[in-house]
Chain A
Amino acid sequence: MGDVISVLTDNFDEFLAGFWVTVRLVVFAFAIAMVVGTLVAALRITPNKWLQRLGGVYVETFRNVPLLVLLFISFAGLRRAGVDIGPWTAGIASLGLYTAAYVAEALRSGVFSVSKGQIEAALSLGYTYGQALRRVVFPQAFRTVISPLGSLIIAMIKNSAIIGVSLLALDDLLKTARVVQSRTFETNETFFWAAAGYLLLTVSATFAIRSLEKRYAIHR
């Protein structure tokens, strides 16, 4: 037991720094995922068939490619091609664009969960299509979308662990555990604290989402 504590206290600054790197990765990647995901979802619900198809291709591509492949393409691939891209940009962009496909799907099914009569009623009241979406459909869709978006944030926290150990220049929580482990050879102890860090993030995200859900619950 003494070992467990001392591994944390001896390397506390390193662990804390790694923890913050993970948090920052997730926050930035989530911002990208939301922006791109919303755009793609918008493409998929436009009346234009070609735009719909474009959105569909985005979703099917990024949902079916392993994140690790995206990381290789965006970091080593672009670098070899002469693009000067750093590990942060590559990591955040890959994780963000990957998750954007799932965000788009979540938003789209949220919009479809609003009954068709709602938009028809709005249009017949003289709203334009854009106004109807913005004022009638989106506020209702938002509620049903909280829970799937929440699962996506949790998935992002977990997926962010891939970035550090594959793009060697980024010391996130898992990479830090790996570094401390190779120095101290205390495998169980270092990974115990890294697990605690990840569980702290995923479990607190779970509770935050549940309380949000409760606040915006639909009473029907």
Chain B
Amino acid sequence: MNYVFNPDNWEWLVTGNNARFIFEGFLVNLEIAVIAMVLSLIAGLALALARLSLWKPLSVAAGTWVDVWRNLPLIFIILYLALSVPGSWRNAYEDTIPSWFPEGLQSGRVLAAILGLVLYNSAVLAEIMRAGIQSLDRGQNEAARALGMSYRQSMRMVVLPQGLRRMVPATVSQLITLNKDTTLVSIVAIQEVMRHGRIVTGANFFGGVQAPVLQVFLFVGLLFVLVNLALSRLSRRLEVRERKRTAVGTVKRVRGLEEQAV
């Protein structure tokens, strides 16, 4: 404990550019997280709908796809993609990415990282959304159809708004996990917070102070805790507001609904 709180061991934080360097790395993580979140939510919804499709081949294909990707370790997927994505794809990525995008995302290596995050998280989110939609009473869809709505209309106006609302807590905890998982992209040499942390501890980098590993990563951990706590607070507030606005009945138990994002 003495070692942890010894002021000498925290000197690095206020010396030179160390703190700023760590923050810059953390920003790259947040940027990757935001992009991956948006893409995963879109792809996840598409996969969930495909899985619930009435056309058997599509639903079987989507189900297999989802089951494979969500049962593989994310770091496995990222590592595999980093080794196997062809160079031409990377070049295409570097050419198409708008120049106003953050500098940390300009490198072609980011492509494998984002692809991996999206493949894994869209599969997990698809499963969450499917559970949310299926937890809805069947009568909702039947009533909508009886009123003359088409399958699409019923989905869009009746089933999805209610089903997805139920899945907000599970979705948010998966997004928090995604946020934590952005640290895994350090394995494919993207300069984000873990790499920056290691650089700071490596040598007398900034200001001639060698930072101790323990303290640097305690600090990095603290950054993640703060951001993730803010995320979960926000979602809880949204949830309370929603519950006031719409009286949500009891939710039927469906496999996947209680699934926890880790």
> Closest CB-CB distance, A164 to chain B, in whole Å?
9
B230 nearest CB neighbor, chain A only: A64
A143 within 8 A of B: no
Distance in angstroms between the alpha carbons of A156 and B214 in the assembled complex: 24
B194 touches A68 (CB 8 A): yes
Residues of A in contact (CB 8 Å), total 51
Report the bound CA distance from A99 to B182 in whole Å: 18
B225 touches A60 (CB 8 A): yes
A162 contacts B75, C-beta separation under 8 Å = yes
Compute how far the CA of A160 lies from the CA of B80 in the bound complex, rounded to whole angstroms.
16
Stretch at the interface among A40-48, A117-125, A194-202: A194-202
User: A87 contacts which chain B residues (CB < 8 A)?
Assistant: none
- Residue of B73, B176, B217, B228 contacting most chain A CB atoms (<10 Å): B73
**Interface flags, B188-224, vs A, CB<8A=1, else 0:** 0000001001000100000000001111011011001
CA distance A155 to B260 in the complex (A): 9
Give the interface size class of chain B: 35 or more
Closest-CB distance, A212 to chain B (whole angstroms): 14
Do residues B224 and A165 form an inter-chain contact, with CB atoms below 8 A? Answer: no
Contacts of B260 in A (CB 8 A): 102, 105-106, 148, 151-152, 155
Q: Does A187 interact with chain B (Cβ within 8 Å)?
A: yes
How many A-B residue pairs lie within 8 Å, measured between CB atoms?
130
- The CB with the most chain B CB atoms within 10 A, among A65, A160, A195, is that of A65
Q: Is the CB of B221 within 8 A of A70?
A: yes
Complex Cα–Cα for A49 and B21 (A): 40
Q: Please, how many angstroms separate the alpha-carbon atoms of A157 and B73 in the complex?
A: 8
Contact of A66 with B83 in the complex, beta carbons under 8 Å: no
Q: CA–CA, A9 to B74, complex, Å?
A: 26
**CB-defined contacts of B71 to chain A, threshold 8 Å:** 154, 158, 198-199, 202-203, 206
On whether A73 and B214 interact (CB within 8 A), knowing A64-B176, A199-B71, the answer reads yes
Given contacts A81-B213, A198-B71, 5 further A-B contacts (CB under 8 A): A65-B225, A66-B183, A77-B214, A154-B71, A159-B262
